[in-house]
């Protein structure tokens, strides 16, 4: 229809040119302007065609055409989501494959059907590239941005025997072959099924004697999936590090031990009924182990974790107290670049006490900066945001 309309419009312009003697250069400009929508439509049609409609309508169409559904679960603020929308979804080879094999949907998880489907499919990371069958049952998923080749391969996996749903079924049926577990755990990891992965890894190690932990497959599992410092697997690694170093290299073993020690405390932040909370018992056991083993820089490690916990649990005033103490005692740096990060993390909170403290930190940053500091513009921008928020509160 658009092609016929375009032809008619061009004939009309040419007729008007003959009648009114419009210069040819103007005619060319008009033709170019009229052609733009047509060209854009043709370009858009090369990539994935995303269906509109309610979730019920999408599933009805999937049943009618007997096609699974691909869902791009995104948010407006997600950078990797925007990159895929710009660089991957419009590609012709991507459109050819996905349009032929799937009903395709873009789902803003914060609008319309989005919140309900976000909860239904337990979506927490973006983009989540989700595939469901005609009944809405999950088949497969991957989390994070992908390039064209990886995205095409992901779509092909849906029709193979290594989908997330298929691998779940094999595990439930009792398959525990080592090669299967390597692939399965990696799939759970890449799809961010963290709770499920942790449960199955724990089950796997529960059946193994200590003497088996130095086998290559078990070292690889420990290195990639074990992050709890108080776990039996890490304790064995720590107490027998020389044995692991002989087998897998001093550098790799040292890297694993240091990262678990430094980051292990973050494992005790939990989600309960949709609210962030701290497993205080586990965290205290972690701290005791660190103290008993005289780990270096304990004050810095603990205060960094406490600050992160305060942010995650939205205790912003506590966060500002922790950071004030840390900067005053030089446990954490107070340069302009660091203060910018500290403030950016807490100004989502619109409490006057928090914003006033953030404003004080920004003044500290400005006073400490040398002329021409590259963070000056960023600090001044945050100052303006804080000042506007405080003014709005005063006016309420």
Percent of the chain with pLDDT over 70: 87
- All domains in the chain, ordered by first residue: 2-44 (no CATH), 55-160 (3.40.30.10), 208-296 (no CATH), 318-396 (no CATH)
Residue found under tokens 């205080």: 280
Record the tokens describing residue 339, joined without a space.
Answer: 């203060």
pLDDT at 247 over 70: yes
Instruction: Report the interhelical angle of 216-225 vs 250-263 (nearest 10°).
Output: 30
**Category of 22 on φ-ψ map: left (φ > 0), alpha (ψ -120 to 50) or beta:** beta
Q: For the residues 213-222, what does the mean pLDDT come to?
A: 97
Mean of all residue pLDDT scores within the chain: 87
Q: For the residues 270-280, what does the mean pLDDT come to?
A: 80
Encode pLDDT of 368-382 as tens digits: 888 777 888 889 999
6-to-3, 24, 37 alpha-carbon distances in Å: 5, 18, 10
Q: How far is it, in rounded angstroms, from Cα 41 to Cα 38?
A: 5
Encode pLDDT of 5-58 as tens digits: 444 554 454 555 545 444 555 444 444 433 333 333 333 468 999 998 899 999
Encode pLDDT of 282-316 as tens digits: 999 999 999 999 998 999 999 999 999 999 899 99
Q: For the residues 192-220, what does the mean pLDDT come to?
A: 94
pLDDT class of 263 with cuts at 50, 70, 90:
confident
Q: Tell me, what's the pLDDT at 38?
A: 31
Encode pLDDT of 46-103 as tens digits: 899 999 889 999 999 999 999 999 999 999 988 899 999 999 999 999 999 999 999 9
Instruction: Please tell me the least confidently modeled range out of 29-33, 255-259, 381-385.
Output: 29-33
Q: For the residues 389-393, what does the mean pLDDT come to?
A: 88
Q: Tell me, what's the pLDDT at 328?
A: 93
Q: For the residues 182-209, what does the mean pLDDT come to?
A: 94
366-375: Cβ within 8 A, 24+ apart: 366/336, 368/334, 368/335, 368/336, 369/336, 373/336, 375/336, 375/337, 375/340
Partners of residue 270 on adjacent β-strands:
277
Q: Tell me, what's the pLDDT at 46?
A: 84
Decide if 137 contacts 165 (C-beta within 8 A).
yes
Q: Report which of residues 10 and 130 the model is more confident about.
A: 130
Q: Tell me, what's the pLDDT at 284?
A: 93
Tell me if the pTM is above 0.75: no
């Amino acid at each position: 229809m658009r092609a016929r309309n375009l032809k008619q419009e061009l004939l009309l312009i040419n007729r008007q040119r003959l009648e009114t003697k419009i210069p040819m250069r103007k005619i060319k400009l008009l033709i170019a302007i009229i052609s733009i929508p047509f060209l854009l439509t043709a370009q858009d049609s090369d990539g994935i065609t995303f269906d509109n409609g309610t979730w019920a309508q999408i599933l009805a169409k999937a049943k009618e055409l007997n096609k699974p559904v691909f869902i791009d679960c995104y948010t407006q603020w997600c950078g990797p989501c925007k990159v895929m929308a710009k660089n991957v979804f419009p590609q012709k080879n991507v459109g050819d494959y996905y349009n032929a094999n799937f009903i395709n949907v873009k789902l803003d998880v914060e609008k319309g059907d989005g919140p309900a489907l976000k909860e239904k499919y337990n979506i927490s990371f973006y983009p989540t590239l989700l595939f469901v069958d005609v009944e809405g049952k999950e088949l497969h998923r991957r989390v994070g941005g992908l390039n064209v080749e990886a995205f095409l391969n992901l779509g092909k996996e849906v029709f193979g025997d290594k989908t997330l749903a298929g691998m779940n079924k094999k595990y439930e049926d009792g398959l525990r072959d080592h090669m299967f577990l390597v692939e399965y755990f990696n799939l759970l990891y890449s799809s961010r099924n963290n709770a499920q992965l942790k449960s199955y890894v724990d089950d796997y190690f529960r059946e193994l004697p200590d003497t088996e932990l130095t086998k290559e497959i078990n070292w690889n599992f420990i290195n990639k999936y074990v992050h709890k410092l108080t776990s039996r697997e890490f304790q064995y690694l720590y107490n027998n590090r020389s044995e692991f170093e002989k087998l897998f290299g001093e550098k790799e073993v040292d890297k694993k031990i240091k990262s678990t020690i430094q980051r292990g405390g973050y494992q005790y932040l939990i989600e309960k009924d949709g609210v962030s909370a701290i497993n205080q018992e586990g965290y205290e056991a972690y701290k005791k182990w660190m103290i008993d083993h005289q780990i270096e820089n304990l004050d810095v490690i603990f205060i960094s974790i406490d600050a992160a916990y305060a942010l995650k649990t939205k205790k912003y005033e506590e966060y500002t107290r922790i950071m004030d103490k840390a900067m005053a005692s030089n446990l954490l740096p107070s340069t302009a670049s660091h203060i910018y990060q500290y403030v950016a993390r807490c100004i989502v909170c619109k409490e006057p006490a928090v914003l006033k403290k953030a404003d004080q930190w920004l003044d500290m940053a400005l006073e400490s900066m040398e002329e021409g500091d590259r963070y000056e513009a960023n600090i001044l921008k945050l100052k303006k945001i804080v000042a506007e928020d405080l003014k709005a509160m005063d006016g309420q």
